[in-house]
Chain A
Amino acid sequence: MIKVKNLVKKYGSFLAVDHLNFEVYDGQILGFLGPNGAGKSTTMNILTGYLSPTEGDISIDGIDMFEEPEKAKALIGYLPEKPPLYLDMTVYEYLWFVAELKGVKKKERFEEVKRVIELTSIDNVKDKLIKHISKGYKQRVGVAQALIGNPKVIILDEPTVGLDPAQILEMRNLMRSLSKNHTVILSSHILSEVSEVCDTILIINSGKLIRMSSTEELLSEFTVEDEIILSVKASYKDVFELIKDIKGLKSAKEISNDGTVTTLSITWQDTGVDVKDEITFKLAANRISIVELKKEKKNLEEIFLTLVEKSNKVSDEEGEENAGYL
């Protein structure tokens, strides 16, 4: 659906995008991941025809962006980093204008605007001036605008920024439902967010492609051993005596001890026995109370940081100011 060949973008002598190559297939949800300043927005701006690359080619559904820009642009709906909203229009007026701008026929315009308003659930603000609605709603109007004309490709630059947790969940569901009929590219600097929604993740740093692989592959590669954190009202010795015989247990380390509560990190191999259950039963049988028991989650952000740091080491000369901070 989208082919990017050898994409380079220079701002003066600063290399924002450095020989990027990738391909996105029909119906894929691609997550664009990278620290701030990695070149995500620049790449998206080039993909949508807003910026011209210094070198390289882009084709959307076989149509070259630079030879037939109008045709290629008609296939794309784009939400830039800052939603392009006219603050003095009402939401409805604005969407009507976008529909007209994108060449939606007059007969279909009413239905189309209604459709995107329903999809993004902004019906209750549609008659308000855009300058009077909240940031979360502005973001959704921005998405609604991108959906108008039902383009094959939808490109969203950090679509969940500024939304509250409930709205983020809604937005994720929306993006998932979009992927049924569209090819979706979205960007974020938060890996957990991208991995929630996307089936493929593309990581860039300092304008370079670091990694492009399926979400599952990326996550499984970096899986840490199963680990639980256990806090109990007992000494380390007592607890260790009790649990050392549990099948599959690999290690039990003391992390902290404040006199009454001891915290341990426990790891084990998967042998089919539920180690958590076993530990709870044994402690309960000995009347040792558990303050907290939690499964340590695989830290996605660490995967991302590891990859980014690796790439920074490789290209040390230009690394420092673009070092991966989140």
Chain B
Amino acid sequence: MQAIYKKEMKAYLHSVVGWLFMAFLTAFIGLYFFYANLLNGSPYFGYSLYSVSLIFVLTIPLLSMRIMAEENKLKTDQLLLTAPVKTWKIVVGKYLSMVTLFTIVMLASCILPLIMTKYGTVNLKMSYVGILGFYLLGCAYMAIGLFISGITENQAMAAILTFVFVLATQLSDSIVGLFNSDSKSNFVVFTVLAIAIAGILYLSMKNIFVSAVSFIVIELVMIVLYLVNSSIFDGLASKLVTGLSLVTPFADMVSGVFELKSVVFFLSVIIVFLYLADNSLKKRRFN
């Protein structure tokens, strides 16, 4: 694990990528801090971070696209996978290298709320809970980026997929707002979702029978539920998105609400995606 971690740190710091990531993030945090908190005198550092979080759309793919895909492309995964090392150690080593770069930036930005206290009263607890939320959100996106990088050999593809995923998550609340909340349109949304699930099943298993059966089963269950009690579907899509959204707990935290369940939620997202990345690494052996 240590060997991988050191190697990745070197790779980031010997190339432009690591520096670019840190510079980009620091610059944006600094910019919003300067504009919103210093010039306009807003005492809420968390709200600046909330605006900055959109920059994850670019910075996360920048950092995560090569982390696994490059090994797959250069076939250096053959070295890692034939070395006497457990695969999860490879994944965690790589993940920690990304988190380290991010941690450096976040530690630096911990100074900013203290600067604000010079000019007025600042709720420090609220500011630092916001920083923690921002940090956890970034770490969760990195785990997702790492997973996406691991399922492809193509860095550009990994970057695009991560970009789309982060963007969709960031905008999920407003996207859900576009749907009607009545049961009929929700039913349609979930039918589309069922088709998507069937499609993913087909892509990963190449078995038309399994995916067709699973689609029919999901659809039948939904029809029965709809006929029995159509009110179940009222606003279901938005409930689901809010429940799974990374942005909801983040929004809570930047507004100063510290809840253990938000932290646990982020940590579980990280663990789940690292676990998936480990599994996809193991699964490569069966292809």
B76 within 8 A of A: yes
| Cβ contact within 8 Å between B76 and A88 | no
B121 within 8 A of A: no
| Cβ contact within 8 Å between B74 and A100 | no
User: Knowing A51-B285, A88-B14 touch, does A70 contact B78 (C-beta < 8 A)?
Assistant: no
Q: CB-CB contacts of A10-22 with B at 8 A, as 1s and 0s?
A: 0100000000000
A contacts with B: majority SS = loop
What separation, in Å, do the CA atoms of A48 and B74 have in the docked complex? 18
| Cβ contact within 8 Å between B86 and A101 | no
B204 within 8 A of A: no
**What residues of B have a CB within 8 angstroms of the CB of A86 in the complex?**
7, 11, 74, 76
**What residues of A have a CB within 8 angstroms of the CB of B285 in the complex?**
49-52
Of the stretches A72-80, A120-128, A231-239, the one at the interface is A72-80
**What residues of B have a CB within 8 angstroms of the CB of A50 in the complex?**
78, 81-82, 285
Interface size class of B (residues with CB under 8 A): 20 to 34
What separation, in Å, do the CA atoms of A76 and B79 have in the docked complex? 11
How many A-B pairs have beta carbons closer than 8 Å: the answer is 65
A104, closest chain B residue (CB): B3
Q: Which of B76-125 contact A (CB under 8 A)?
A: 76-86
| Cβ contact within 8 Å between A101 and B83 | yes
**What residues of A have a CB within 8 angstroms of the CB of B11 in the complex?**
86, 88
What separation, in Å, do the CA atoms of A129 and B44 have in the docked complex? 49
| Cβ contact within 8 Å between A84 and B84 | no
User: Knowing A97-B3, A97-B7, A101-B4 touch, does A84 contact B86 (C-beta < 8 A)?
Assistant: no
B75 within 8 A of A: yes
A77, closest chain B residue (CB): B82
Residue from the set A74, A93, A100 with the largest chain B CB neighbour count within 10 Å: A100
| Cβ contact within 8 Å between A49 and B81 | yes
Q: Which of A11, A51, A71, A88 contacts B84 (CB 8 A)?
A: A71
A87, closest chain B residue (CB): B74
| Cβ contact within 8 Å between A101 and B85 | yes
| Cβ contact within 8 Å between B84 and A73 | yes
A103 within 8 A of B: yes
A305 within 8 A of B: no
| Cβ contact within 8 Å between B74 and A84 | yes
A52, closest chain B residue (CB): B285
What separation, in Å, do the CA atoms of A122 and B282 have in the docked complex? 34
A157, closest chain B residue (CB): B78
| Cβ contact within 8 Å between A80 and B84 | no
**What residues of B have a CB within 8 angstroms of the CB of A101 in the complex?**
3-4, 79-80, 83, 85
| Cβ contact within 8 Å between A84 and B75 | yes
Can you report 11 A-B residue pairs in the complex whose CB atoms are below 8 A from each other?
Answer: A48-B82, A49-B81, A70-B84, A73-B83, A73-B84, A74-B84, A78-B78, A84-B77, A89-B10, A97-B6, A100-B6
Q: A100-B6, A101-B80 are in contact. List 19 more A-B contacts (CB 8 A).
A: A45-B78, A49-B81, A50-B82, A51-B286, A73-B82, A76-B82, A80-B75, A80-B78, A84-B78, A86-B7, A86-B74, A87-B74, A89-B10, A97-B3, A101-B83, A102-B84, A103-B84, A103-B85, A145-B79
| Residues of chain A having any CB pair with chain B under 8 Å | 11, 45, 48-52, 70-71, 73-74, 76, 78, 80, 82, 84-89, 93, 97-98, 100-103, 145
